[in-house]
Chain A
Amino acid sequence: MPGIAFDTAHLLSGGLLLVSFMMIYQDRMFSLLRIFALHAVVLSLSVAWQAYIQGAPHLYVTAAIALIFKAIIIPSALRRIVVQLGIHREVETVVGIGVTMLAGIGLSALSIVLMLDVTQGADPYAREDLAFALSVVLLGLLMMVTRRNAVSQIVGFMSLENGMILAAAGAKGMPLVVEISVAFSVMVAFIVIGVFLFRIRERFDSVDVSVMDQHRGDQR
Chain B
Amino acid sequence: MILQLFVQGIQMLLVVALAPLLVGIVRRVKARLTRHRGAPLIQPYRDILRLMRKEVVLAENASWLFRVTPYMVFAGTWVAAALVPTFSTGLQFSWTADLIAIVALLGSARFFLALAGMDVGTSFGGIGSSREMMIATLAEPAMLLTVFSLALVAGSTQLSHVSAYLASPEVGLRVTLGMGLIALVIVALAENARIPVDNPSTHLELTMVHEAMVLEYSGRHLAMIELASALKLLLYVSLIGCIFFPWGIAQPGDGLARHGLALLLYVAKLAVAGTLLALFETSIAKMRVFRVPNFIGTALMLALLGALLLFVTRSV
Contacts and interface: CB of A to CB of B under 8 A. Distances in A.
Contacts of B38: none
A121 to B, nearest CB: 11
A53 B312 CA distance: 19
A112 B301 contact: no
Interface in B117-174: 172-174
Contact of B312 (A10, A25, A97): A10
A105 B305 CA distance: 7
B179 A128 contact: no
B173 A97 contact: no
A108 B316 contact: no
B312 A116 contact: yes
A25 B309 contact: no
B298 A25 contact: yes
Interface residues of A, number: 25
A194 interface: no
A108 B312 contact: no
Contacts of B256: none
A161 to B, nearest CB: 22
Interface in B218-242: none
Interface stretch (A15-23, A59-67, A180-188, A209-217): A15-23
A97 B294 contact: yes
Given A25-B294, A109-B308, A124 B316 contact: yes
Given A97-B294, A116-B316, A127-B316, A11 B308 contact: no
Nearest to A3: B172
B297 A101 contact: yes
Contacts of A7: 172-174
A108 B305 contact: yes
B304 interface: yes
A128 B316 contact: yes
Given A25-B294, A105-B301, A108-B305, A8 B173 contact: yes
Give the contact-size bracket for chain B: 20 to 34
A11 B178 CA distance: 10
B301 A21 contact: yes
A10 to B, nearest CB: 6
A58 B309 CA distance: 28
B271 to A, nearest CB: 30
A4 interface: yes
Nearest to A15: B175
Contacts of A4: 172-173
Interface string A92-126: 00000110010001001100100010000000100
B304 A105 contact: yes
Contacts of A124: 316
A18 B305 contact: yes
B38 to A, nearest CB: 33
A131 interface: yes
Query: Most A CB atoms within 10 A — which of B294, B308, B311?
Result: B308
Interface string B276-316: 00000000000000000110011001101100110111011
A98 B142 CA distance: 14
Given A11-B175, A98-B293, 15 more contacts: A4-B172, A10-B173, A10-B175, A10-B309, A11-B174, A15-B175, A18-B302, A21-B305, A101-B298, A105-B301, A108-B308, A109-B308, A112-B311, A128-B316, A131-B312
Interface of A: 3-4, 7-8, 10-11, 14-15, 17-18, 21, 25, 97-98, 101, 105, 108-109, 112, 116, 124, 127-128, 131-132
Interface of B: 172-175, 178-179, 293-294, 297-298, 301-302, 304-305, 308-309, 311-313, 315-316
30 contacts: A3-B172, A4-B173, A7-B172, A7-B173, A7-B174, A10-B313, A11-B174, A11-B175, A11-B178, A14-B175, A14-B312, A15-B175, A17-B305, A18-B179, A18-B302, A25-B294, A97-B294, A98-B294, A101-B301, A105-B301, A105-B304, A105-B308, A108-B308, A109-B308, A112-B308, A112-B311, A116-B312, A124-B316, A127-B316, A132-B312
